[in-house]
Structure 1
Amino acid sequence: MYTIGTHMSIAKGLAKTAENVVAMEANTMQIFSRNPRGSTYKEYTDQEIDKFQKIRREHGFGPLLAHAPYTMNLASEKEKVYEFACMVIREDVARMDALEIENMVFHPGSHTGIGTEAGIRNIIAGLDQAITGNESITVLLETMSGKGTEIGTRFEELRAIRDGVRHPERIGICLDTCHVFAAGYDIVHDLDGVIREFDRVLGLKHLRAVHLNDSLEDFGSHKDRHAVIGGGKIGLEALLRVMKHPALSGLPFYLETPLDDAGHRQEIQMLKQQLCE
């Protein structure tokens, strides 16, 4: 059985969100660890958390994924920006770990002119101050499209981060299909080659999640614009090959496509039907 979910709003609470996952006939979900465009987060009562945990276990949810806010830039040289990023990653790793969420993903960051190597050093230092090594949660580096001065466009950059941290055993990878396609990894015509390259550089054992997104932009465009499944330049057939590939099929897949809950429910049902054919 495939593990498929989507990004869910938790505005109505954790338990209600879990109920929506069940209604959507999904079996996992991704949530933001806090306000994606700000710094605030909601505190949950013990009763709310207990109800959330009960629903996810009774319905056999696969690994859950928390996404750090977009405002966090661990690669920045600007003191206030970097201090904020360090605070967010430190607090949210602890908060999501306490909720027993298995994985937390973040965009590695943009070096904004100081260079990739200096940006990677900042990311490593930020992770080291956040991760004790005693957590159960795994922090995932996301593959990026390469817009501007983003770090994580090449697998080697993610390898350098993981190799540099104090607790690499707590660091994994999240592969975003839109991002790698835009970055120049040809998952449409050479999926096997991309997977071999990923394994050679990063190791498939460290791949913990897949963001399943189509791309509005062309191959190698370095532009991050998600499309609904089958509505972009990657296409339904290629994305189904990603899901069915023996190296990837056992991973959780999270949709980040531009749809509401009803649209995502239909998208998930379509994928399930296609995967059974």
Structure 2
Amino acid sequence: MNFGAHVSIRDGYLGAAKKAASMNASAFQYFPKNPRSLSVKEVSKDDAALCKEFSEKNNLISVSHSPYPTNLTPTSSSKRNQVVQSLLNDLEITDACGSLGVVVHFGKEISQNDPLVSYRLMIEVLNETLGQWDGECKILLENNAGKPGTIGTTLEELVQIRQLCDEPEKIGFCFDTCHAFASGLWNGEDWSELWNKGTELGYFEQLEVVHFNNSKYESGSGKDRHANIVDHGYITSDQFDQLLITPQLRDIPFILETPKEIVPHQKEIALLQERWG
């Protein structure tokens, strides 16, 4: 199994890769730029190239995560242009670092009267972005953590958005275990049913990364609060077993976004390798 964690780029992209290697990880995630801003960052080509070279030599798989303000359902033209330019910048940096793609949260509901407004806007923003992108890495849509029935919490939505875009081959998926549990998509006991549904829809064929997080709250709570994997949340190790023994996920990177102040990521990765590696 490929276990890793989100790491800082404080020491650059090469520094992030070296930090992951020092934790005995085989995968890592990073923010391509300031996580609280949509500003465009000049690509440090030398640093990115060194990150890519180091990762290849050390068999490290990586993805980036778009900044927090990234929203695929912007409600103004100026905000939309800002999001598109920021995403193109994220893709350029991520590609230069040799990463699989940029994780982007599913859009938000902007009209209770017409839920299709949000989906149409998402498709438009993705088309505008990816129509200008010709690199190798992809946008990786992540499932939302809202209450059951809210936007972005079903596999059907994720698959349909991808299929309706002009260039679906440039889009993959990120499955967040805490989000799935919080939204009721996965209740901890029904992994086989979820796997069968996702396989039938073609979701798992496009899965590139798993955000491996426990949940501080019960299934269906709609609360996005991450907990450490072993003995710290509502998802039990036996329930995680069902997911981790799936042969088709063996080569997928599992990225921790768990509280490192409670269990340091290096220690948590060692625990995961001991149980599931």
TM-score computed with the length of structure 1 as normaliser: 0.91
Q: Which amino acid aligns with 2:145?
A: S
Secondary structure of the corresponding residue to residue 35 of structure 1: coil
Cα deviation 1:191-211 (Å, max 9, x = unaligned): 111111112234321111111
Cα deviation 1:17-45 (Å, max 9, x = unaligned): 11111110001100112222212465454
Matched, 1:154 2:157: no
Q: Which amino acid aligns with 1:221?
A: S
Question: Counterpart of 2:126?
Answer: 127
Question: Counterpart of 1:177?
Answer: 177
Secondary structure of the corresponding residue to residue 247 of structure 1: helix
Give the Cα separation in 1 of the matches to 2:203 and 2:106: 18
Question: Counterpart of 1:51?
Answer: 50
Give the Cα separation in 2 of the matches to 1:68 and 1:113: 24
Question: Counterpart of 1:264?
Answer: 265
Q: 2:108 aligns with which of 107, 110, 113?
A: 110
1:1-277 aligned at under 5 Å gives the runs: 2-40=1-39, 42-43=41-42, 45-62=44-61, 64-113=62-111, 115-132=114-131, 134-146=134-146, 151-230=151-230, 231-260=232-261, 263-275=264-276
Give the direction of change, closer, same or farther, for the CA distance of 1:149–1:74 in structure 2 (3 Å limit). Answer: farther
Asked whether the 8 Å contact 1:138–1:172 carries over to 2, the reply is: yes
Give the Cα separation in 2 of the matches to 1:51 and 1:94: 15
Give the direction of change, closer, same or farther, for the CA distance of 1:260–1:46 in structure 2 (3 Å limit). Answer: farther
How many residues are paired up? 274
Note the residue ranges of structure 2 that are not aligned, 5 or more in a row.
Answer: none
- Tell me how far 1:223 sits from its aligned partner: 1.3
Secondary structure of the corresponding residue to residue 109 of structure 2: coil
Asked whether the 8 Å contact 1:147–1:224 carries over to 2, the reply is: no
Give the direction of change, closer, same or farther, for the CA distance of 1:93–1:50 in structure 2 (3 Å limit). Answer: closer
Over the matched positions of the two proteins, sequence identity in percent amounts to 30
Asked whether the 8 Å contact 2:148–2:184 carries over to 1, the reply is: no
Asked whether the 8 Å contact 2:51–2:97 carries over to 1, the reply is: no
TM-score computed with the length of structure 2 as normaliser: 0.91
Note the residue ranges of structure 1 that are not aligned, 5 or more in a row.
Answer: none
Moved over 6 A (4+): none
Q: Which amino acid aligns with 1:214?
A: N
